[in-house]
């Protein structure tokens, strides 16, 4: 189901020699997903990684304001080391929160590598050889049934990755990868949340909630000390520290967001669900095959080892060569000899004239008899029509095939119907030839 490690290369028996190292590239350099890699593939981010800087800004700036205008003043008001501990705790919480954010955003969330070839069709005897990156013309079943803890679960086929997804796996349309135990794609961290980073995501959200509550609480403490120290009302005390007012409002709004996420994901962990499953499958109406009980569910998330990544992004692999055309019945056509299909995983509709030579030129099977048919058959052209069609060039290996652009001359894109102008020209040429032949015969009879 998954692509194994890159194959090792060795000299062939014919003495061709070792593979040229110049054609080897790192895995992350040839990666087909939308990920962004840093430090030579050591850090894996999503395509919207720039939102990560905005999230860091939302965390760091309020903390800096708190340290300057609130914590620094409280250090002088509390005796001994109590005031210093306020500053130490806020700095430690912030650093811990940022580390969890980077662990969530900069690691492989559980990406399943794409297959180079589609899986073999079960129960089919014959050749299904196709080029790399192609789905066979024989349609594979869209779903399969697997048994999970005694309950039948359907797994789907991914046209993009050319594999049957494991249970709880889904294809992220933003990162363009299949991710194990896919939870959701979080725009705030710029990464998918899956099997390998869900633990850090929950801890990041929880620590952000604690950070907001900490700032909110000590802002009130500072306002209370102003009230007691100067004998002011609460409104006059708040007016003397506008920074505290801003932090109170900001932390109050933020705690509803991150606190709500903490409560929601606590519920999901206790019932062993993902966000994707909760929104789509509604286990309240069916049995959840993954629910092991509250304690076991929490231990599964926090007390089990994180599985290693299925991808070595720094490994060297051969650079993919340019796709060569292959020979079919004496002619050469592109290996992409299939109609574009709707990408169910990415939600894209097929675009027929997206490229010059895709569906319009590769939909037919090319013959060596100067005729084309959409489904591989021959098209009978009348002698008169064949005289006005442009001649086909001869190839170096015998009779040439019809050039895709010339073979489509006089027809609409996507249709093999000959245009009325060509038919009219053919009929007119045929009549002129008939009149000329009759005139020559009549003159010969007169002589």
Length of the chain: 447
CA distance 232 to 215: 22
CA distance 77 to 74: 5
Structure tokens at 380: 């009978």
Place of tokens 């002698």: 383
Half-sphere exposure of 308 (CA within 13 A, CB side): 4
Catalytic residue flag (residue 212): no
Distance separating the N- and C-terminal Cα atoms of the chain: 84
CA distance 121 to 138: 8
The residue annotated as part of the active site, out of 172, 186, 192, 219, is: 186
Q: Which residues are catalytic?
A: 186
């Amino acid at each position: 189901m998954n692509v194994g490690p890159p194959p090792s290369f060795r000299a062939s028996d014919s003495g061709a020699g070792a593979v040229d190292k110049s054609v080897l590239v790192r895995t992350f350099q040839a990666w087909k997903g939308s990920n962004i890699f840093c430090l030579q593939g050591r850090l894996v981010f999503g395509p919207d990684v720039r939102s990560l800087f905005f999230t860091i800004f939302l965390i760091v700036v309020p903390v800096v304001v708190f340290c300057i205008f609130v914590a620094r003043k409280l250090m002088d008001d509390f005796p001994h080391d109590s005031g210093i501990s306020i500053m130490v705790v806020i700095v430690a919480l912030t650093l811990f929160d940022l580390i969890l954010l980077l662990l969530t955003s900069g690691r492989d969330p559980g990406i399943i590598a794409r297959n180079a070839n589609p899986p073999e069709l079960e129960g089919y005897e014959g050749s299904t050889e196709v080029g790399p990156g192609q789905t066979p013309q024989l349609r594979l079943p869209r779903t399969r049934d697997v048994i999970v803890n005694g309950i039948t679960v359907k797994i789907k086929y991914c046209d993009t990755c050319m594999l049957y997804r494991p249970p709880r796996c889904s294809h992220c349309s933003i990162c363009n990868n299949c991710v194990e135990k896919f939870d959701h794609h979080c725009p705030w961290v710029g990464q998918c949340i899956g099997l390998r980073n869900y633990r850090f995501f929950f801890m990041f959200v929880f620590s952000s909630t604690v950070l907001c509550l900490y700032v909110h609480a000590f802002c009130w403490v500072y306002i209370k000390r102003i009230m007691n120290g100067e004998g002011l009302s609460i409104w006059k005390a708040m007016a003397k520290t506008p920074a505290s007012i801003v932090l109170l409002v900001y932390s109050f709004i933020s705690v509803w967001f991150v606190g709500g996420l903490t409560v929601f994901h606590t519920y999901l962990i206790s019932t062993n669900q993902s966000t994707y499953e909760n929104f789509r499958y509604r286990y309240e109406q069916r049995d959840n095959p993954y629910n092991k009980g509250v304690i076991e569910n929490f231990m599964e998330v926090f007390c089990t080892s994180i599985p290693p990544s299925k991808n070595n992004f720094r490994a060297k692999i051969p650079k993919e060569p340019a796709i060569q055309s292959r020979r079919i019945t004496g002619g050469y056509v592109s290996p992409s000899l299939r109609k574009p299909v709707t990408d169910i995983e990415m939600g894209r509709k097929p675009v027929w004239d997206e490229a010059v030579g895709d569906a319009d030129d590769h939909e037919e099977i090319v013959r060596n008899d100067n005729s084309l048919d959409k489904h591989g058959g021959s098209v009978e052209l009348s002698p008169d029509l064949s005289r006005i069609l442009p001649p086909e060039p001869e190839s170096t290996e015998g009779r040439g095939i019809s050039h895709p652009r010339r073979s489509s001359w006089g027809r609409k894109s996507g249709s093999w119907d000959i245009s009325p102008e060509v038919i009219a020209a053919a009929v007119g040429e045929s009549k002129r030839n008939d009149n000329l032949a009759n005139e020559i015969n009549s003159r010969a009879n007169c002589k």
